[in-house]
Copies of this chain bind each other. A is one copy, B any other.
Amino acid sequence: MDKTEGRILLVDDEADILEFLSYNLRKEGFDVKCARNGLEAMDISVQFRPDLIILDVMMPGMDGYEACRQIRNHPDLKETVVAFLTARGEDMSQVEGFDSGADDYIRKPVRPRVFISRVKALLRRIPQTSEDGSRITFGDLIIDKEKYVVIKRGIETELSKKEFELLLLLTSRPNKVFTRDEIFAGVWGNDVIVGERTIDVHIRKIREKIGMESIKTIKGVGYYFT
């Protein structure tokens, strides 16, 4: 019940701005945490594992650039997307910003709608489901398309063809609910006719192999992958 659009860490020394931005982000379904300075940002990041960190450039103590550099040097955080918040007219500083490893620049004053779509665009480019070659990764689940194998927490399990195709269909759009009809069409094709319970049985087998939580049911509608 608390699936979110993505985790975001806001870092700014001004409470107003934190409040304003976090309000707007939460409204869109993001899981937001705030930090007042670079140090705090690092601490929270290690725990919270944000998908995106939005850093104010000017902060007392460790400034945005330095914080960004540290993030890039931290083994667990270096993949995190980082965006800077800058006051108007700080354009020249962008050189240093990108140099320190920023992914984007957001100029103050912030306009909510633009801001939100910018954030969404940034998160979209996250290798949320990183796909290197034949493998797709979802958190602790790895699906290997070539070997017809899934690896859950390092435990490798073979999937049969139908199981695999069904899982691929569901994972092709995480969180989308696939109706039974869509599943039939996608996995069996429209002409093949099999009993209603067939899908359930395959779902059960998949759940057995990748964990119960991964596939959810909406009664009367269908299934979805998280």
> Residues of A with Cβ closer than 8 Å to B?
1-4, 20, 23-30, 95, 98, 101, 103-104, 111-114, 117, 120-121, 125, 128-129, 134, 140, 142, 146-148, 151, 153-158, 160-161, 173, 175-177, 218-221, 224
Contact = CB atoms under 8 A, between A and B. Distances in A.
Nearest to A30: B154
Contacts of A113: 101, 103, 128
Q: How many copies does the complex hold?
A: 2
A177 to B, nearest CB: 5
Contact of A125 (B25, B114, B125, B176): B114
24 contacts: A1-B156, A1-B157, A2-B156, A23-B95, A25-B154, A26-B154, A27-B140, A29-B142, A29-B154, A29-B156, A103-B114, A117-B129, A121-B129, A134-B176, A146-B175, A146-B176, A146-B177, A147-B176, A148-B177, A148-B218, A148-B221, A160-B218, A160-B220, A161-B219
Contacts of A173: 146
Contacts of A154: 4, 25-30
Nearest to A25: B154
Contacts of A160: 218-220
A106 to B, nearest CB: 12
Contacts of A157: 1
B103 A218 contact: no
A66 to B, nearest CB: 18
A161 to B, nearest CB: 4
Contacts of A26: 153-154
Nearest to A28: B154
Contacts of A177: 146-148
A147 to B, nearest CB: 5
B117 A111 contact: no
B156 A4 contact: yes
Nearest to A125: B114
A155 B3 CA distance: 9
A27 B153 contact: yes
Contacts of A23: 95
Nearest to A121: B129
A174 to B, nearest CB: 10
